[in-house]
Structure 1
Amino acid sequence: MIRFVACFSLLFSLCWTIQAQQAPVGRFLTDSIEIGRPFRYSLTYSHRPTVDLIFPDTISHFAPYRVEDVATFTTQTTGTGAQAISRDSAVYTLVSFETDSIQLLRVPIRIISANDCTALYTAADTVFLRSRLPQTDSTGLHSFTLATETTLTPLRQQFNYPLLVSSLLVIGVLSTLLFILFRQPLQRLWWLSRLDRHYRRFQQQFNRLSRSINAQNAADNANQAVILWKSYLEELDGQSYTSLTTSELAERFNEEKVTAALRDADLMIYGNVFLSQSQSSLQVLSDLAERIYQRRRREMQSIAGQPTSAPPETSEASSALTP
Structure 2
Amino acid sequence: MRNLILFTLLCLYPSALWAQQIALPSGTFNRDTVKLGEPLKYLLVHRHPDTQEVVLPSGKNNFAPFELVSRDFYPTKTKGGISTDSAVYTLRTFETQAVQQLSLPVYVLRQSDTLQVFAPSARVHLQQLVQQVEEPLPVKSETELAPVEERFNWPYVLLWVVAVITFLSLVWLLFGQAIRRKYKLYRLRKDHLYFASRYGSHVDRFVKSGATGSIEKAVSLWKNYLTKLERSAINSFTTKEIVEFYENDEEVNTALRICDKAIYGNMQTESEGETNLALGMLRRFAKVRYKTRREQINNAKNRQ
Residue 210 and residue 24 in structure 1: after superposition, are their counterparts in 2 closer, same or farther (change >3 A)? same
Matched, 1:290 2:287: yes
Look up the SS of the partner of 1:127 in the other structure: strand
Equivalents in 1 of 2:53, 2:88: separation in Å?
21
Write the letter of the residue equivalent to 2:112.
Answer: N
Equivalents in 2 of 1:178, 1:191: separation in Å?
18
TM-score (norm 1): 0.58
- The RMSD of aligned alpha carbons is 5.4
Task: Give the corresponding residue for 1:150.
Answer: 144
Give the CA deviation at 1:158. Answer: 6.6
On the 8 A contact 1:222/1:265 being kept in 2, the answer is: no
Out of 110, 113, 121, the residue aligned to residue 110 of structure 2 is 113
Equivalents in 2 of 1:276, 1:189: separation in Å?
40
Give the CA deviation at 1:164. Answer: 9.0
Give the CA deviation at 1:176. Answer: 11
Task: Give the corresponding residue for 1:136.
Answer: 132
Equivalents in 2 of 1:215, 1:64: separation in Å?
105
Equivalents in 2 of 1:257, 1:44: separation in Å?
111
Give the CA deviation at 1:147. Answer: 2.5
The answer for unaligned runs of 5 or more in structure 1 is: 1-8, 79-85, 305-323
TM-score (norm 2): 0.61
Matched, 1:34 2:35: yes
Q: Superposition pairs for residues 17-166 of structure 1, below 5 Å?
A: 17-20=18-21, 26-28=27-29, 30-35=31-36, 39-43=40-44, 50-58=51-59, 60-62=61-63, 64-70=67-73, 74=77, 88=84, 90=86, 92-101=88-97, 102-122=99-119, 125-131=122-128, 133-139=129-135, 142=136, 144-153=138-147, 155=149
Equivalents in 1 of 2:60, 2:14: separation in Å?
37
On the 8 A contact 2:108/2:116 being kept in 1, the answer is: yes
Look up the SS of the partner of 1:205 in the other structure: helix
Write the letter of the residue equivalent to 1:150.
Answer: E
Write the letter of the residue equivalent to 2:222.
Answer: W
Task: Give the corresponding residue for 2:3.
Answer: none
Deviations 1:69-119 (A, max 9, x none): 4557745779xxxxxxx6755363533142433433232322322224344
Identity rate, percent: 20
Write the letter of the residue equivalent to 2:226.
Answer: L
The answer for unaligned runs of 5 or more in structure 2 is: 1-9
Provide the aligned length of Structure 1 versus Structure 2: 282
On the 8 A contact 1:103/1:129 being kept in 2, the answer is: yes
Give the CA deviation at 1:257. Answer: 8.5
